[in-house]
Amino acid sequence: MAPNESDIELRSQASLADIHRREIETSESLEVIEGFSLPPADSGKDAWLCLLACFMLEALIWGFPASYGVFQEYYSTHDFAGSSNIAVVGACAMGIMYMDITIGFALLKYFPRIRRWATPIGLTVICFSLGLGSFATNVPHLIVTQGIIYAVGGGLAWTPILFYLEEWWVRRRGFAYGTTMAGLGLSGAIMPVALEWLLSSYGFRTTLRVCALSFVALNFPILFFLKPRIPLSQSSQSRSFDMSFWKCSNYLILQSGNVIQSLGFFLPAIYLPTFARSLGASSIQGTVTIILLNGAAFLGCMTMGISVDKYDVTSCLLVSALGSTISVFLLWGMSNSLAPLYVFCLLYGAFAGCNSSTWSAIIRETKEKKRGADSGMVFACLSAGKGVGNLCSGPLSEALLHVGRWKVGMAYGSEYGALIVFTGTTALLGGWSFAARRIGWL
């Protein structure tokens, strides 16, 4: 007799629990080998301070490009008004940073002694990129500086987090990743206010220089807390990594949903301030859309990080997909005033913004099939998948805006109609792994 769906699900959960238990036992056995000399994982001052450092790095490194919608609106109406490809600047900053984490992880895996230097070097490159960007005279200059160079520095600065979170957090790894990624939401709710004020008061050149100095003042003090739990001299980590998980059906299905969702995920953050202006909003009222979007993502990431430690990842992805889709089609698509648009920002930020917090559970799913898979490399590849979608979203959004107005009412009849439909469709398809689980593909 073929097993029913509940039996399959129970066995799947049991397998995941077994993998999680083995990880814990491995960590505990290492402590025994070292004579209990290691600080405790999942608790203690050092573990929490390391998590705080990861949270702050996430907040500042990713929060700046996540707030690019404020720059997008300013560039479009001031210094670079009438220029094309302004959206590409933000797409490059986020997209390339998502992708170069894979290269950074491979580099730090093979040369572990440079991990402690990667973050300060990356932060220095970020400051350099923003300083150069303040001298830009056209959009291609911005793409290179505020986009590409920033992404290279940001990716290098962030990558050591993959190694340190794995060492400091074992039992509550989903919580740790969710908390770290919530940093983007919190800074994304605060940073747009400061950027809006700086841009309107002093222009983009001074704003970028102030941001460069702020990165030094806010990031470098926390580097004292970003440190390994296991000394390199005592670590038995191999410098090689197993890439065979790319042949794993579980990974491929979950990765495909990740890429599809990311194709439309970034579009609201880029265009909401400009869309709000089309409804008659002031500059600060347009900025509120980004604040609400990222603020809700902060809560969503925290909740999702806790949830994936307890529930099946495909169910969590389905909740994220349905919440995102409904908010796009029923709220953004039917917005003709600021009130429903603000509600959309809250719901979309909470449901779509938490998607990356499921990655720790996707890693567990993958390691169930491929036990030799390196957790950090799986995470880096998921990040690269999101980066592919982000890079495509820049030029894709420009094309969607030229589709023309549809003969329907509300926001669907505006120049953003095609963009809204595309965002909602990709959000729904991003949760297709739930269906794959039910028909036995996963």
Over residues 36-46, the pLDDT tens digits come to 467 887 788 88
Instruction: Report whether 154 contacts 98 (CB < 8 A).
Output: no
* List of long-range contacts for 34-41, beta carbons under 8 Å, 24+ apart: 34/234, 38/229, 38/230, 39/229, 41/167, 41/168, 41/169, 41/170, 41/171, 41/229
Kindly give, in sequence order, each residue whose CB lies less than 8 Å from that of residue 142, ignoring residues fewer than 6 positions away.
Answer: 75, 80, 86, 89, 133, 136
Q: Give domain status of residue 107, yes or no.
A: yes
First-to-last alpha carbon distance for the chain, in angstroms, is: 20
* List of long-range contacts for 193-201, beta carbons under 8 Å, 24+ apart: 193/287, 193/291, 195/67, 195/70, 195/71, 196/70, 196/283, 196/284, 196/287, 199/70, 199/71, 199/74, 200/74, 200/283
DSSP state of 219: H
Q: Which domain holds residue 302?
A: 44-227+242-438
Q: Which of 374, 44, 34, 45 is nearest to 235 (CA)?
A: 34
Q: What is the pTM of this model?
A: 0.81
Task: Report the pLDDT value the prediction gives residue 1, as an integer from 0 to 100.
Answer: 43
Q: Give domain status of residue 35, yes or no.
A: no
**Model confidence band, residue 430 (pLDDT cutoffs 50, 70, 90):** very high
Total residue count of the chain as it appears in this document: 442
Percent of the chain with pLDDT over 90: 31
Q: Please name the helix (run of DSSP H) or strand (run of DSSP E) that holds residue 436, with its range, or none.
A: helix 433-438
Task: Report the pLDDT value the prediction gives residue 242, as an integer from 0 to 100.
Answer: 74
Task: Report the pLDDT value the prediction gives residue 239, as an integer from 0 to 100.
Answer: 62
**Of the candidate ranges 19-23, 80-84, 265-269, the one whose mean pLDDT is the lowest:** 19-23
Query: Rounded to whole angstroms, how far apart are CA atoms 97 and 120?
Result: 16
Task: Report the pLDDT value the prediction gives residue 125, as an integer from 0 to 100.
Answer: 94
Q: Give domain status of residue 417, yes or no.
A: yes
Q: Please name the helix (run of DSSP H) or strand (run of DSSP E) that holds residue 63, with its range, or none.
A: helix 45-66
Query: Rounded to whole angstroms, how far apart are CA atoms 54 and 177?
Result: 9
Provide the domain count of the chain: 1
What single-letter amino acid sits at 430? G
Q: Give domain status of residue 29, yes or no.
A: no
**Model confidence band, residue 20 (pLDDT cutoffs 50, 70, 90):** low
Is the model more confident about 136 or about 174? 136
CA 9 vs CA 363, 367, 371: distances in Å:
18, 17, 20
Task: Report the pLDDT value the prediction gives residue 396, as an integer from 0 to 100.
Answer: 82
204: CATH: 1.20.1250.20
In terms of Cβ atoms closer than 10 Å to its own Cβ (0-12, 13-18, 19+), residue 140 is middle
Query: Rounded to whole angstroms, how far apart are CA atoms 53 and 157?
Result: 12
Is the model more confident about 309 or about 239? 309
DSSP state of 414: S
Instruction: Report whether 138 contacts 146 (CB < 8 A).
Output: no
**Model confidence band, residue 30 (pLDDT cutoffs 50, 70, 90):** very low
Q: Give domain status of residue 278, yes or no.
A: yes
Over residues 108-125, the pLDDT tens digits come to 888 888 888 999 999 999
Over residues 267-290, the pLDDT tens digits come to 888 788 888 988 888 878 888 888
Q: Is 365 a residue whose pLDDT tops 90?
A: no
**Model confidence band, residue 238 (pLDDT cutoffs 50, 70, 90):** low
Q: Give domain status of residue 22, yes or no.
A: no
**Model confidence band, residue 22 (pLDDT cutoffs 50, 70, 90):** low
Query: Rounded to whole angstroms, how far apart are CA atoms 288 and 276?
Result: 9
Q: Is 314 a residue whose pLDDT tops 80?
A: yes
Q: Which of 134, 159, 136, 145 is nearest to 92 (CA)?
A: 145
**Model confidence band, residue 209 (pLDDT cutoffs 50, 70, 90):** very high
**Model confidence band, residue 328 (pLDDT cutoffs 50, 70, 90):** very high
Q: Give domain status of residue 252, yes or no.
A: yes
Q: Is 172 a residue whose pLDDT tops 70?
A: yes
3 state DSSP class of 373: strand
Residue 232 neighbours by CB distance under 10 Å = 11
- HEC assignment per residue over 226-253: CCCCCCCCCCCCCCCCECHHHHCHHHHH
**Model confidence band, residue 234 (pLDDT cutoffs 50, 70, 90):** low
Q: Give domain status of residue 162, yes or no.
A: yes
Q: Is 310 a residue whose pLDDT tops 90?
A: no
